Structure 1
Amino acid sequence: MSLYAFAAVLVSIIALKFLAPILIYLILSLFFTILLAPIFRFFDQRGLPAILAYFLTLFGFIAIVGAVIVIVESSSKEFSANLPLYQTKFKELLIHLQAYLNRYNLDPSVLNEIDVLGILKKFIANFGSVLKGFLIVVIGVSFLLFESKDFGKKIAAFSKNPHYFEAFFASVQKYFLIKTFTSFLTGLFVGLMLYAYGVPYAFLFGFLAFVLNYIPVIGSIIAAIPGIALALVTYGIETALWVALWYLAINISISNVLEPKIMGDGLDISAAVVFFSLVFWGWIFGVVGTFFAVPLTMTLKLALQSSPKTRHWAMLLSRYKESR
């Protein structure tokens, strides 16, 4: 890589970091538009006037997300109000664990740093601040969705190889749709499982599992911690172990079996690249970057593949395939 190319990459990274507060809303708007575009096309292909199909899709989106926000916010407030009680129980449990560790000459000081429920409270507070910017996202989606029918024509006019770009956007849309479907299944089964065991706020933790499942590698692990912790302080170690096993079974069944089977080999990104892209895009865009690490890396890969000079860099992002 020449000095000029290195400088260009460095400037691009700095620009992305500087513009992140604005680009986050663009990324979220594109995400929801990609999810809603097939619904819009479905209504349009059934003979509905385009304007009616547009408003049906948009208002349906606003109604569903609005209902989810109201329910989650209500559960979050109730959880925050009861948090001191759960923290007291959790501290009592830690005291018993410290006594157990002392008995076997193990260092119990590490337990003093554990505050799972406090971390969850901070996450919910940050999630609430994200929801406050939802109005901007809705406005962005309304414009992008209205122009979604002509977007392919614009790409065709812009690109020398429109079929290449069409295949790319189809892959991104496929990823988002499948990930949303598997995340919904994960959240649904987690919520039902917690409800069956009587764990409080089953819907809230089911929704948390749905949202965090978009984060590759670590999302499902993070989502399991608060549910297991609450089962532990509410019912004890046996129930917590069963809840942990069910979390593991649900995530293995969906993320490691069902999702790869549906997804296929379309993404063509190595596992190591997925992990490091999680770190990189998380640094650039914060929490939003971790959710969209894979599609953002796919976009970067497309940009590298579009030029013969950078095509070898795109190969480094791909999974290795032996030639037969």
Structure 2
Amino acid sequence: MTSDYSKLSKYLIVGASFTIVVSGLKIAAPIFVPFLLAIFISILVSPVLKLLKSKGLSNGIAILIIIALIGLVGLFIGSILGASVADFRQDLPEYSSKLSLISMQIQQGLANIGLVIDKDQWSESFNPSILLAAVGSSLTSFGGVLTNSFLILLTVVFILTENITFSEKLKNATGNKDGQLWLENFATSVHSYIAIKGFVSLLTGFLVFVLLKLIGVEYAVLWSVTAVLLNFIPTVGSIIAAVPPVLLSLVQLSVADSIFVLLGYLVINLFVGNYIEPRWMGKGLNLSPFVVFVSLVFWGWILGPVGMLLSIPLTILVKIGLETQEETKWIAVLLGDK
């Protein structure tokens, strides 16, 4: 009886602790997200740091070169997207009014064949202009993350400075190599995932750019970069990326062109997602499809769009952490795909 009570108390404490941690992360998301981005950027560039140091450069010089490279990449992306986002937001009212007109025409067409739908109910159920407005606000909120770029870069500098000694500190703190091994396994998994996913996403973005340019859809650069970023979001990212250009081609060009854009996105994602990516990614992640989807919803709910982008690396982190403890290894097995 005492043993059962002890187990129940243990589960209750674990459940309460989990709830408190999740609630704290959600409340502190605006502060936590920039630091989380800094950590993952540091993990990604750490091989570059090791490479530069192997060439005889000092730690300080190597870090300065890395920060300069990150800054140049950020300026390049910002210069490309900045003008496109501003122009798109300026044209947004015009596109929204055209979509509303198309929506009314569809409603009238249905009424002509006997399918009468209440105007308010139709507006709530089918209003494409709301989707474009949501895209505009999402682009603005993503820009809000970039406003913390100085804080992110500063944090990256401090993390890279501690990069050499952190593993040794972790070993000394835990008294064994488990913590160090856990960190190395996580870094290796993230490097592999980001490298493969990055290549696949860039390929997707390039194909999307070619498709939209050939058809003549405006803001092809903006939508191709959006496709690259959203491709990191499992399952739904590619679907979300297709919505704005499909709607835009509908108001800018014609219904036929909109269908061509939709089919083009479908072919690109089927080719890349079902042929290219599986051949490169293989079974390296060892996460079940259900866990991938749940992690997308969970981290997105807690951390917003950045949580969705980092849902796979964060879940890998949790899984590897669970694998290091005998008591929680069974949970890691449940998270796997075999």
Decide: shared fold, TM above 0.5. yes
Q: What letter is aligned with 2:123?
A: N
For residues 241-260 of structure 1, the aligned pairs below 5 Å read: 241-260=259-278
Q: Structure 2 CA distance, aligned partners of 1:153 and 1:213?
A: 36
2:108 matches 1:90: no
Residues in 2 aligned to 1:21 and 1:126: alpha-carbon distance in whole angstroms: 12
Note the 1:188-199 alignment, pairs <5 A: 188-199=206-217
2:270 maps to amino acid: I
Comparing 277-286 with 41-50, greater Cα deviation is found at 41-50
Matches within 5 A, 1:1-324: 2-106=11-115, 108=117, 109=119, 111-113=122-124, 114=127, 115=129, 116-157=131-172, 158=174, 159-161=176-178, 162-320=180-338
Instruction: Answer yes or no: is the 8 Å Cα contact 2:35–2:155 preserved in 1.
Output: yes
Q: d(CA) in 2 for partners of 1:225 and 1:10?
A: 35
Structure 2: runs of 5 or more not aligned? 1-7
Q: Which amino acid in structure 1 is aligned with residue 28 of structure 2?
A: L
Q: Deviations over 1:116-138 (max 9, x none)?
A: 22121111221222221122111
The one-letter amino acid paired with 1:160 is K
Deviations 1:139-189 (A, max 9, x none): 112222333344444444445334454223201221122222222222222
* Structure ID, larger Rg: 2
Structure 1 gaps of 5+ residues are none
Q: Which amino acid aligns with 2:161?
A: F
CA pair 151-270 structure 1, distance change in 2 beyond 3 A: same
Cα contact 2:49–2:62 (8 A) shared by 1: yes
TM-score, normalisation: structure 1? 0.91
Q: Is the 8 A contact 1:190 1:206 kept in 2?
A: yes
Query: How many corresponding residue pairs?
Result: 320
Greater alpha carbon shift after TM alignment, 124-133 vs 215-224: 124-133
Report the alpha carbon displacement of residue 243 of structure 1 after superposing the two structures with TM: 0.8
What CA distance in whole angstroms lies between the structure 2 residues aligned with 1:205 and 1:80? Answer: 14
Matched-pair contact (CA < 8 Å) for 1:155–1:165: no
CA contact 2:185–2:320 (8 Å) conserved in 1: no
Q: Which moved more, 1:160-169 or 1:194-203?
A: 160-169
Aligned match of 2:3? none
